[in-house]
Amino acid sequence: MATDVWDVLLEAHRLLWSFTPFEHVGPLEFGMTHDQAQAAVHDVLSVTAYQGDPGKEGWAEFWLERRTGATFSGPAVTAYFDESVGLAGIAVNALRGPQVTLEGMRLVGQTPSRLEDEFTGYLVAHSRELRYSQCADPCSPQLGLVLRAQRAGDVVLSRPVMVARAWADRCWDTSEGRIPRREWKTFEW
């Protein structure tokens, strides 16, 4: 049975990961090498594309495998590597990525306006700063978290980008921040 490129993975079929700012997203820890990141997710995700020098800068696209119980496979996580930091950025695909939570707040595959309201309330309650990217994405540099949007057919869903402390300063800035331009241009699957 063929699947549509815009199919969204059911919540029950998503991997469940937690996010601890500047430490980890699921099994992926900030600072890991490409090989360490690949080994950390090898049971459920596989690298399908890599660009760059594995010991330096670049990105890796990890895909969800059918063996996890999903009815289809596809891009799930994009990992961004920095020569001086190692694993420095993690973007989770809105359609097929793991469900990542921050203190119970679901960050992946949500309606952006509703998540923005919840995120804003969370930041106010924790005395954190809210910023917006030039693309109107809500962001907290104090958490290293940008809540981007990604197309899912005729709707958009949340695509969080979590960064290492070294990338948090200006993580909302699409022109001067450290998040690669490739990520800012990602809107489709």
pLDDT in tens, the chain (189 residues): 335 667 888 888 899 999 999 999 999 999 999 889 999 998 888 877 667 665 567 888 888 765 445 556 678 999 999 999 999 999 999 999 999 999 999 999 999 999 999 999 999 999 999 999 999 999 999 999 999 999 988 899 999 999 999 999 999 999 999 999 989 987 754
Contact 95, 9 (CB under 8 A): yes
Output b/e per residue, 10-42; b: 16+ Cβ within 10 A. Answer: eeeebbebebebbebbbbbbbbbebeebbebbe
| DSSP E strand boundaries for 65-184 | 74-82, 86-92, 99-102, 105-106, 131-132, 138-140, 145-152, 155-163
Measure the CA–CA gap between 147 and 140, rounded to whole angstroms.
9
**Using CB atoms within 10 A of its CB, is residue 151 exposed (0-12), middle (13-18) or buried (19+)?**
middle
Q: Whole-model pTM above 0.75?
A: yes
DSSP assignment of 96-114 equals: TS-EEEETTEE-SS--HHH
The reported pLDDT for the residue numbered 189 is 44
The reported pLDDT for the residue numbered 7 is 80
